Chains A and B, each alone.
Chain A
């Protein structure tokens, strides 16, 4: 069973993503449906804010991303990016504003993640970490 501290950390993480994730997602959906780049980019910004807040929570509780958090994160990111690419390729009416905001938004999220890894583990350490995870 988790200790109270572990439970509280999980609560902070879940609450953080419930707030920033839900509002971010709603802004991205609004941006794509109205072909409004400002809304979409605002949504991606909120996702990055959520990611930053998650790092702060980790710092406060002196932990790092758990294996579960990493898996959920990659799955959601993967599904989102595949949905974006499929929509772009299959929809004839897909607006340029949406394509641009999707590329900028997903690019910013990836960049944020890479900056985090490099800042925390260094360039070499980041690659080594993936290497170790692969062997695990």
Chain B
């Protein structure tokens, strides 16, 4: 047995023992369904801060961010500012959802949507979003982690075997402890995620020989035409230049944009998709679980925008771009760009292997470090798997099993149903990852964009009483359809029904989340306008009066509201939106090199660093100064029982028949698709 394998087995074994031990401990503290679903609403602020940060960034950051920076250069690195955008969603919604959850005794987001909109359909749509978010998101990350362990073991174990064992561990501690188990284990996983990414960036930095060498190599690369992206619209190397505000192309697969796909329209709409993470139903439950809102502002300002923002804007960039100069790509064949041949060549068709390549190289020199960073990677994957599995399992039990199949379910039966739900979510993710890799990537593309489609409905609940039930429902459906139609899944679906869509993936260089939200907001606004009913609105206003009473700003801060709007819109415009093109050459031409680069780094990177710092200030201003996430002085009367989902038993029966019909239709369509495609 090689020393690499010995260290790997020892450290992973110790880490998994930790996971199971804390699952058992959490299980001992959970005695009711409320405990299992929401940790009895008693998660302390510090646990929320660390775990919520781990869930928000997870394995997609650990593997995906450096990989895509490696592939698409600094234009993609603009997405690192998503750490601030993700925090922005939290600022807008988390505290208000927590207040409603506590006041009205909601357990799942389904409860909240059903109660607020007086709707039976919205909880089902929310459950659909939760499932489409959780399963492929978990599945993709399991694949990456399985590949990592198999690779580090030198082929001694199969990737699929690693995935199954990893999932079994998650299943065990999630089943035992419910959301409390996921939260307790998530604390270590959250800190390991951040520490691992910092370590990878530092290793790259040291191996390149410091900032001077890295800057010099970037200067040579900027002056060359190396790389598969070709030149941008302004004849700069595509790695260094955001390729315009928008390109009216028919979409990938039909027409390729000039330079990279990363126009500011794409960056902004991809940023929207990231904002879907904290709008996802699972995250609502994490908010409900908190003992107080005390941790919200700290999570958003310091943990998300601050710490993870720094990790993405600095360390992920060093890791991703550094891989070119350490032997990871053919770029290092050009003069001045080869600093070392430390890394093995990254597979061009699977850039996720950038991180794997680093860990492999570290493991060859220091097996203990390679194994420790591999544990960090596994932790980054498992934090999200457990978080989404426990919350989605709870939603299946509470929003599907209880109202449709067993309205008189005991506490014990509901917990059992939740555990079965966790098992089903994990098993489906695992089966998709193991046997259907193409479906995994098609569905995975929908996940983030689907999560963001809940924004208008959540905005209705938390801020805008004029959003009606019909508006929120039809808007959400329109948004989900628009997302599907601008992703490969929609093309496969259209192909199945025998016709071809006249556009490719992400037409006009707008990400599917952007198309979705455009359709969603348009339909939601028009329908809400057409379905104004004073009775419904009056009922919704009772929620808003409660929120207004709990979140009232001091008179001197009321005057700051226009300032808050201006700062937020300004930041979105320059950091993620059309204003980002100014960053291409404001601090020196990309081809100019170190003598021209004002801050000693490429202009676009300097732009990102500046807007990251300004982003922290913006989130601080909103969260603390405008009190959007801080502790409320007034106490919240707790636990008015949530109303029943259905007005009558016949309503429940009618919905159950519809549900079974949809499931049967879906199963039949899938079977036919497999038979004839």
Knowing A14-B18, A23-B195, A26-B372, the reply to whether A7 touches B25 (Cβ < 8 A) is: yes
> What B residues does A4 contact at CB under 8 A?
29, 42
A4-60 with Cβ < 8 A to chain B: 4, 7-8, 11-12, 14-15, 18-19, 22-23, 25-26, 29-30, 33
B interface with A by C-beta (< 8 Å)? 11, 18, 22, 25, 28-29, 42, 44, 46-47, 184, 187-188, 191-192, 195, 199, 366, 368-369, 372
Q: Are B29 and A30 in contact (CB under 8 A)?
A: no
B residues near A29, Cβ cutoff 8 Å = 366, 368
Minimal beta-carbon separation of A133 from chain B (angstroms): 28
**Nearest A-chain residue to B366, judged by Cβ:** A30
Q: Is A1 an interface residue (CB 8 A)?
A: yes
A35 to chain B, nearest CB (A): 13
Cβ–Cβ contact B195 & A19, under 8 A: yes
Task: List residues of chain A with CB within 8 A of the CB of B42.
Answer: 4
The residue on A at minimum CB distance from B375 is A22
State the A residues within 8 Å of B (CB). 1, 4, 7-8, 11-12, 14-15, 18-19, 22-23, 25-26, 29-30, 33
Write the nearest CB–CB distance from A27 to chain B, whole angstroms.
8
A116 to B188, CA, bound (A): 26
Q: How far is the CA of A103 from the CA of B42 in the complex (A)?
A: 46
Given contacts A7-B25, A15-B191, 6 further A-B contacts (CB under 8 A): A18-B188, A18-B192, A22-B11, A26-B368, A30-B369, A33-B366
Contacts of A7 in B (CB 8 A): 25, 29
Chain A residues contacting B369 (CB-CB under 8 Å) are 26, 30
B307 CB → nearest A CB, Å: 13
Q: Enumerate 26 A-B pairs (CB-CB under 8 Å) in ascending A order.
A: A1-B28, A4-B29, A7-B29, A11-B184, A11-B187, A12-B46, A12-B187, A14-B188, A15-B188, A15-B191, A19-B188, A19-B191, A19-B192, A19-B195, A22-B11, A23-B195, A23-B199, A26-B366, A26-B368, A26-B372, A29-B366, A29-B368, A30-B366, A30-B368, A30-B369, A33-B366
Q: For the complex, what is the distance from the CA of A25 to the CA of B192, rounded to whole Å?
A: 15
Chain A contact residues: helix, strand, loop or mixed:
helix
B501 to chain A, nearest CB (A): 49
Least distance between A15 CB and chain B CB atoms (Å): 5
**Chain A residues positioned under 8 Å from B188 (CB to CB):** 14-15, 18-19
A19 — nearest CB in chain B belongs to which residue?
B191
Which residues does chain B contribute within 8 Å of A1, judged by CB atoms? Answer: 28
Q: Is the CB of A11 within 8 A of B366?
A: no
Closest to B40 in A: A4
Q: Which residues on A sit within 8 Å (CB–CB) of B18? A: 14, 18
Q: What residue of chain A has the Cβ atom nearest to residue B21's Cβ?
A: A14
- Say how far A19's CB is from chain B's closest CB, in angstroms: 5
**A4-B42, A7-B29, A8-B47 given as contacts; is B368 within 8 A of A15 (CB)?**
no
Q: Which residues of B contact A11 (CB under 8 A)?
A: 22, 47, 184, 187
B190 closest partner in A (C-beta) = A15
Residues of A within 8 A of B192 (CB): 18-19
Q: How far is the CA of A25 from the CA of B11 in the complex (A)?
A: 12
CA distance A23 to B373 in the complex (A): 9
Closest to A7 in B: B25
User: A15 CA to B18 CA in the complex, in Å?
Assistant: 10
Min C-beta distance of A31 to chain B, whole Å: 10
How far is it, in angstroms, between the C-alpha of A18 and the C-alpha of B372 when the chains are bound? Answer: 11
* Cβ-defined contact, A8 with B44, below 8 A: yes
Nearest CB to that of B370 among chain A residues? A26
Residues of B within 8 A of A30 (CB): 366, 368-369
- Chain A residues with CB under 8 Å of B187's CB are 11-12, 15
In whole angstroms, what is the CA distance A8 to B50 when docked?
13
Instruction: Select from chain B the residue with minimum beta-carbon distance to A29.
Output: B368
CB distance from A10 to the nearest CB of B (A): 8
A15 to B352 alpha-carbon distance, docked (Å): 28
| Residues in A neighbouring B11, C-beta threshold 8 A | 22
Report the minimum CB–CB distance from B547 to chain A (whole Å): 29
Smallest distance from the beta carbon of A29 to chain B beta carbons, Å?
Answer: 5
The docked-state distance in angstroms from the alpha carbon of A14 to that of B21 is 11
Q: Which residue of A lies closest to B28 (CB)?
A: A1
State the Cβ distance, A38 to closest chain B Cβ, in Å. 11
Tell me the complex Cα distance, A15–B192, Å: 10
Residues of B within 8 A of A23 (CB): 195, 199, 372
A95 CA to B327 CA, complexed, in Å: 32
| Distance A33 CA – B195 CA, assembled complex (angstroms) | 22
Complex Cα spacing A132 to B176, Å: 41
- A-B pairs, top 9 by smallest CB distance, nearest first, are A15-B188, A26-B369, A30-B366, A15-B187, A19-B191, A26-B368, A29-B368, A26-B372, A18-B188
Closest residue on chain A to residue B44 by CB atoms? A8
The CA of A128 and the CA of B184, in the complex, are separated in Å by 37
Tell me the nearest residue of chain B to A10, going by C-beta: B25
Taking a contact as CB atoms under 8 Å apart, the answer to whether A22 and B22 are in contact is no
Our pick among A12, A14, A22, A33 for the contact of B372 (Cβ within 8 Å) is A22
Question: B184: which A residues are within 8 A, CB to CB?
Answer: 11
Instruction: Find chain A residues with CB under 8 A from B44 CB.
Output: 8
Chain A residues whose CB sits within 8 angstroms of the CB of B372 once the complex forms: 22-23, 26
Q: How far is the CB of B29 from chain A (nearest CB, A)?
A: 6
Compute how far the CA of A19 lies from the CA of B25 in the bound complex, rounded to whole angstroms.
20
Chain A residues in 8 Å Cβ range of B47: 8, 11
Considering the chains assembled together, what is the distance between the CA atoms of A14 and B187 in angstroms? Answer: 10
In the bound complex, CA of A59 to CA of B199 (Å) = 29
- The minimal Cβ–Cβ distance linking B119 to chain A, given in whole angstroms, is 36
- The residue on B at minimum CB distance from A57 is B46
**Within 8 Å CB of B22, what residues of A?**
11
Q: In the complex, which residues of chain B have a beta carbon less than 8 angstroms from the beta carbon of A19?
A: 188, 191-192, 195
CB-nearest residue of chain B to A25: B368
For B366, the chain A residues whose CB sits under 8 A away are: 26, 29-30, 33
Q: How far is the CA of A19 from the CA of B22 in the complex (A)?
A: 16
- Which residues of A have CB within 8 Å of B368? 25-26, 29-30
